[in-house]
Amino acid sequence: MLTRSEEDHIKAVYALLQEDDSAFTKDIAERLHTKASSVSDMLKKLADKGHLKHEPYYGVKLTAKGHALALQLVRKHRLWETFLVERLGFGWDEVHEVAEQMEHVASEKLIDKLDNYLGHPSFDPHGDPIPDRHGRIRARRTKRLSACQQGDTVRIAAVSGTTDGLLRLLDAKGLRIGTVLNVQEVHAFDGSMDVKPKSGSAFSLSKDVSHHLQVENA
């Protein structure tokens, strides 16, 4: 059995590998609010246990074993988030920290029953896909809103890097998963973007925000 800290490290590596093809000590430390030296130690231990390959100074990759484990953790995290929002009535900006704890409860049966209870959801409250019990993820082709052109009409599929502040900003602007937007204008100066929801008037989004919105063609 892995400890909470070990699990969090594997999950951090997995998340970083989603973006890049190698994960680095500094970024893992930042994600876990810890220090690079602590991560170094942990990487050695997890490499010994066969969850990842650590090429010192050149980053980390997950083994098949580590990858499967990461998917189970992501599954647990996202199922709990879904439960918290859909059943208990939490806001989507309030669930991350709690799910960060609940994902470490060890019980295969628990997570399967939870999955069943929730009706086998495919996406969590932030639009992120929930791996099934075999680790399979529903494929989607999304792009960042910041990569869209004037005239594009897109649907918000997911919010990446879900910090509370960003989620509350989206709430305030009435943006949620599924909202359809038309890109009216992109300002070269600051990368900000004017968008118009299907119903309602247009408004502006900073590049900071549009960068974190994953969209699909509507």
Partner DNA sequence: AAAAAAGATTAGACTAGTCTAAAAAACGGG
Partner DNA sequence: CCCGTTTTTTAGACTAGTCTAATCTTTTTT
- The binding site for DNA (CB under 7 A) comprises 3-6, 24-27, 33-45, 54, 56-57, 59
CA distances in angstroms from 115 to 105, 118, 121, 125, 177, listed in the order given: 15, 5, 7, 14, 21
Give whichever of 54 and 76 is closer to DNA, judged by the CB atom: 54
| Nearest distance from C-beta of residue 132 to DNA, angstroms | 28
Q: Which of a copy of itself, DNA, Mn ion, none does 113 bind, CB closer than 5 to 8 A by kind?
A: a copy of itself
Structure tokens at 167: 């989620």
162 close to 87: Cβ distance less than 8 angstroms: no
H/E stretch holding 177 reads none
Our separate counts of H helices and E strands in the chain read: 8, 8
Sole window of 71-79, 105-113, 120-128, 177-185 interacting with a copy of itself (rule: CB under 8 A) = 105-113
CA–CA separation, 180 and 113 (whole Å)? 34
| Nearest distance from C-beta of residue 176 to a copy of itself, angstroms | 21
Contacts of 159 (CB under 8 A, 6+ apart): 126, 127, 166, 167, 170, 177, 212, 213, 214
| Nearest distance from C-beta of residue 126 to Mn ion, angstroms | 4
Out of 33, 109, 134, 141, name the contact with a copy of itself by CB under 8 A: 109
Give whichever of 44 and 113 is closer to DNA, judged by the CB atom: 44
Sole window of 22-30, 83-91, 127-135, 172-180 interacting with a copy of itself (rule: CB under 8 A) = 83-91
* DSSP label at residue 51: S
Give whichever of 27 and 93 is closer to DNA, judged by the CB atom: 27
| Nearest distance from C-beta of residue 114 to a copy of itself, angstroms | 6
Judged by the rule CB under 5 A, the positions of this chain that interact with Mn ion are 8, 81, 100, 124, 126, 128
Q: Which of DNA, Mn ion, a copy of itself, none does 123 bind, CB closer than 5 to 8 A by kind?
A: none
CA–CA separation, 69 and 109 (whole Å)? 16
154 close to 217: Cβ distance less than 8 angstroms: yes
